[in-house]
Structure 1
Amino acid sequence: MKKNRYIIGALVLVAGALSGCKPNLDLINPQEVSKSTYYKTASELEASVIPAYQALIGKVQGGYARAFYYNLLAPGDDFNHTFKWEPMYQDTYNTPASDGLIAGSWKDMWNGIFAANTAISAITNFTGEISDDQKNRLLGEAYFLRGLLYMHVVELFGETVPLIDHPTLSNEDYYPTNSKAGEVYALIISDFQKAAELLPVKSVMNADAAHIGRATKGAAQAYLAKAYMYRPILELGQKAEFDKAEVELKKVIDSKEYSLMPYFRDNFDEEHENNAESVFEIQMHNGPGWLGDDMSDSWRWQEIGMYDGTGGAWWNLAPNKKTYNEFENGDPRKYMTLWCDGGAKYTQVDGTVTDYDYWMAHLATNKDLYGTRKYCPDVQVADFDDGINDRLMRYADVLLMYAECLNENGKPEEAKNYINMVRTRANDIVPTEQSQLWYHSSKGTIPDVDGLLAENITINGIKMNSIKNIIEHERYVELCGEYVRYFDLLRWGMADSKWLEPLKEIGWTERAMYYPFPQVELDNNPNLEGNSMNH
């Protein structure tokens, strides 16, 4: 069983919610580890960044272990909540400030920012023996993690969240105020820039097996580019910086550190984790316990994977008919992404082999929704959770973002090449797949970009008659279930409102762009005002 590189030998720092961590008494325990007694050696410094990684998984299940796949996926037009979870608010655009899922994400992300700030301070001020390479690497990891954690916080709650760039030093730090427009975006950009300067490339980082899965120069450059492209979300009223993003993405491509895996499905199983296509992924580990005993597992397969009525799956959130229809005829990715008709079979713990007919016969309602095969094992695990890593940034995403930048910067012909790289891989035979699936022995039949333009077909109301529309389509199918769809529509919609129409059709309003600040945080902190969803 693999080790989780985020928790071995770590000093776990738990900050709690921003204002909820203030002690009532000033007591000193001489036996308690603190910042003044720790971080005295290079090995202790190594542990300083681990809690920030762990926060992305979520000690209180507010990260990718559980809450994030609801908070990030449900607001899009591609997933719906099922009859199994009523009420669920994330896809209704009416989430209350008392909701536990958003409160968990708020707490875990701020725990991570607290840890990253502590690490940056400890590493910067360290005076013990340490090599420049090690110190730069650790500082780069800390800056990367703070930038990534802040990016998540702003995606969920908007740019008026507090700006906290140092460890807690005074009573005032327990009760921060709202940030001003543009401040958090500037911090995110600065953090990714610093990380890109300090971090080694993937091959150097991975030369030490203990560091596989940690942030690298390529990850920092890719996320810096993503932040530039996400600027309309991260700093309202501002345009995406496609020119700057193009430069950073070109660096990632030119580094030759990454390549597409031969088979699309290799990106979503436990056997091929941290592969050549992985730019950054969450290191999951399915240990012996659950509900607190194991902080590094994922409940994704159980909660949004297989259909209800099969292997005890909960099936709370599911791809909808629109997502099913987005895949072109002859695209093998449909069957590697969805549990659906004509697709793969699923084996339960008791040995029962199930198929689409079985699922429909055992499904009570919502028969117009589908299962999420991506990240779901084909053979049921005898547990609520599993240890499949969540790939947050793949090289395929880098190629599609680069194509988008090229197109936005007036180079559509160049953009085609990078879209075609992703589409060509999609057509490849997948001999490692289930033998009854047609693409196990036959190639897919989706055309290249020019062929798709020539077809001039309409998919879910969007004509495939421009490079921009094809990029929208390709990101939908290639990255389905990978947490980008809602945010793609938002960032495009800030420049051209037509991209907001799919969201408006299902009840979205500009007021509901972000989730409300958790009410418990507003109750605890008189200096903090909520966003539009709190009013």
Structure 2
Amino acid sequence: MKKLIKTRNILLLTLALSAGCKPNLDLLNPQELSTDTYYLTADQLETTIIPAYQALIGRVQGGYARSLYYELLAPGDDFNHTFKWEPMYQDTYNTPASDGMASGTWKDLWNGVAASNLAIDKITNFTGQIDEQRRNRMLGEAHFLRALHYMHLACLFGETVPLVEKPFSSDADYYPTNSEKGQVFALIVSDFQKAAELLPVRSVLYANAAQKGRATKGAAQAYLAKAYLYRPILESGQKAEFAKAEAELKKVIESNEYRLVDYFKDNFAESTENNAESVFEIQMHNGPGWLGDDISSSWRWQEIGMFDGTGGSWWNLAPNKKTHDEFEPGDPRKYMTLWCENGAKHTQVDGKVTSYPDWMNNLATNKDLYGTRKYCPDVQVADFDNGINDRLLRYADVYLMYAECLNEKGDITGAKFYINEVRKRANNIVPSEQPHLWYQHSRGTIPDVDGLLAKDTTINGVRLNNIKNVIAHERYVEFTGEYLRYFDLLRWGSADPKWLEPLKQLGWTERATYYPFPQAELDNNKNLRGNAMNN
């Protein structure tokens, strides 16, 4: 699947909505393929889905390959921009509508919506010979991907983004207006529901190695649950739907298609991609080039991984001291997540081995920030980029979301069980780790939930004396750098404003919940109004 996504000879539809200009719809070259003349066989139909996957990686450097991690991580209280990027607006809550990074993200996500719409249309209306199971699987993927792109758009730009549900067929289609309240959330839920009905389970799909990494029934169910929990973000003023989320998460758990892998570290290495814990991940592929030729590789380690100056890394965004301090003593995840004191060493491409004292000696400023070891190879690759997949949804998230739902309805015993499963794995000895790291030969020492509650610990000002606070803490340390913290605080803050305090202390206001619509889009489409950040 990694190489399939990288395929060049596909019809990648670029949405005019994101391009700033309208194509001439009257021109048709009979010598060239078009969406009307190409999709005539089942194999050709298969290629309709690939651009929607590729859009998550990014064609205009707005996806997970290059810049989307800035958009998702920087607004939280867990990462800060460094001296290497001044000014970076994403963590100032004052991003201008002219910002190129937000514009690139907007374009790539709309490319994904357009590609998904084309796929849904072509697969639904296909009259050629095709196996019904194959048709259902492809249609399920298309609905899943449209929902996922819209979930990103609504989380980043708000619920008033346009609602576009079909391919463009007239000039007027290129100038949609804002969606009405609730429409985008309803589409996301409907699409994930359809995907869950149509897609096969993981074991059936992955029986064909070529299908590994594609969306599955479990992925659709887990994302549907996440959409229910994210409803306060996706539809402003609405409450999270815990009971509905619980029902979907229970289906994923009872499917027995997933499990927590033995070693936390295996969720972030290239050699252990698409493992038993992976519910859905971005399929990266590092090809022979690094500019222009290779569009499916990740620049994450270079941009937000290792400290400045180590192997030429850029270190634009970094975990802060609050994140470092959130880890309990004896938690091995700290050293698998961060480049920090007493942690792992890094080997440069020239063979030089460096460690925390070296990094601090060479660092001029921002010595209170850290490196992100997740997705960052311990041994530097010769290329700027690499092919490490970005795991967007892990089974650990299913467990902790389920624990949250159980806690909301008062099932404290059940909630503790699923939190403990995640914490128990965190203590495992990791034999594949660097030999000097203590947890390569000794277990971690973090207690179970009851032990943690008995300690009555306060971390970063939050007293861990109830299950909700324990879940918040556990999500923080388990998913540092995995794009969840900011959105967790937003959704919790809709019900209890105390969760917004960490953001308010950084300058966040309700107006800054979302990024502004790109100004170029508003200039091009007079039917479209911006959100609060555009005013």
Instruction: Please tell me the TM-score bracket, short chain as reference.
Output: over 0.9
Give secondary structure in 1 for the equivalent of 2:281.
strand
Distance 1:136 1:400 in 2: 31
1:155-166 aligned at under 5 Å gives the runs: 155-166=155-166
Give secondary structure in 2 for the equivalent of 1:4.
helix
Partner of 1:425: 425
Alignment-mate amino acid for residue 213 of structure 1: G
Distance 2:2 2:464 in 1: 45
Structure 1: state its 5+ residue gaps: none
Partner of 1:84: 84
Alignment-mate amino acid for residue 385 of structure 1: D
Partner of 1:13: 12
The 3 A distance-change label for structure 1 pair 72 and 309 is same
1:291-306 aligned at under 5 Å gives the runs: 291-306=291-306
Distance 2:27 2:7 in 1: 29
1:504 aligns with 2:481: no
Distance 1:242 1:403 in 2: 11
Distance 1:40 1:226 in 2: 36
1:116-515 aligned at under 5 Å gives the runs: 116-515=116-515
The 3 A distance-change label for structure 1 pair 286 and 317 is same
Alpha carbons 1:476, 1:485 under 8 Å: kept: yes
Structure 1 stretch displaced more, 230-239 or 58-67: 58-67
Tell me how far 1:290 sits from its aligned partner.
2.0
Partner of 2:527: 527
Structure 1 stretch displaced more, 59-68 or 191-200: 59-68
Tell me how far 1:508 sits from its aligned partner.
0.3
Tell me how far 1:276 sits from its aligned partner.
0.3
Distance 1:21 1:30 in 2: 23
Alpha carbons 2:16, 2:23 under 8 Å: kept: no
Partner of 2:62: 62
Alignment-mate amino acid for residue 460 of structure 1: N
Alpha carbons 1:9, 1:47 under 8 Å: kept: no
Alpha carbons 1:10, 1:47 under 8 Å: kept: no
Tell me how far 1:148 sits from its aligned partner.
0.2
User: Residues 26-57 of structure 1, C-alpha deviation per residue, up to 9 Å, x if partnerless?
Assistant: 21100121121011100011101000000000
Tell me how far 1:4 sits from its aligned partner.
2.1
Tell me how far 1:25 sits from its aligned partner.
6.2
Tell me how far 1:199 sits from its aligned partner.
0.0
Tell me how far 1:419 sits from its aligned partner.
0.2
Alpha carbons 1:158, 1:514 under 8 Å: kept: yes
The 3 A distance-change label for structure 1 pair 67 and 142 is same
Alignment-mate amino acid for residue 18 of structure 1: L
Alpha carbons 1:17, 1:110 under 8 Å: kept: no
Equivalent pairs, count: 534
Alpha carbons 1:346, 1:378 under 8 Å: kept: yes
Distance 1:319 1:197 in 2: 39
TM-score (structure 2 length as normaliser): 0.99
Distance 2:35 2:365 in 1: 54
Distance 2:21 2:33 in 1: 17
Tell me how far 1:409 sits from its aligned partner.
1.7
Alignment-mate amino acid for residue 33 of structure 1: L
User: Residues 185-231 of structure 1, C-alpha deviation per residue, up to 9 Å, x if partnerless?
Assistant: 00000000000000000011101111100000000000000000000
User: Residues 303-344 of structure 1, C-alpha deviation per residue, up to 9 Å, x if partnerless?
Assistant: 000000211110000000000000000000000000000100
Alpha carbons 1:285, 1:387 under 8 Å: kept: yes
Tell me how far 1:384 sits from its aligned partner.
1.2
Tell me how far 1:292 sits from its aligned partner.
1.9
Distance 2:289 2:431 in 1: 35
Tell me how far 1:7 sits from its aligned partner.
2.8
Provide the alpha-carbon RMSD of the alignment.
Answer: 1.0
Partner of 1:71: 71
Distance 1:123 1:396 in 2: 34
Give secondary structure in 2 for the equivalent of 1:397.
helix
Distance 1:148 1:364 in 2: 40
Distance 2:413 2:453 in 1: 13
Tell me how far 1:24 sits from its aligned partner.
3.9
Distance 2:516 2:409 in 1: 35
Alpha carbons 2:283, 2:389 under 8 Å: kept: yes
Tell me how far 1:124 sits from its aligned partner.
0.3
Alpha carbons 2:6, 2:285 under 8 Å: kept: no
Alpha carbons 2:16, 2:22 under 8 Å: kept: no
TM-score (structure 1 length as normaliser): 0.99
Structure 2: state its 5+ residue gaps: none
User: Residues 494-517 of structure 1, C-alpha deviation per residue, up to 9 Å, x if partnerless?
Assistant: 110000000000010000000000
Distance 2:458 2:245 in 1: 29
Alpha carbons 2:338, 2:370 under 8 Å: kept: yes
Alpha carbons 1:407, 1:415 under 8 Å: kept: yes
Tell me how far 1:9 sits from its aligned partner.
6.8
Distance 1:288 1:77 in 2: 37
Alignment-mate amino acid for residue 355 of structure 1: S
Alpha carbons 2:15, 2:114 under 8 Å: kept: no
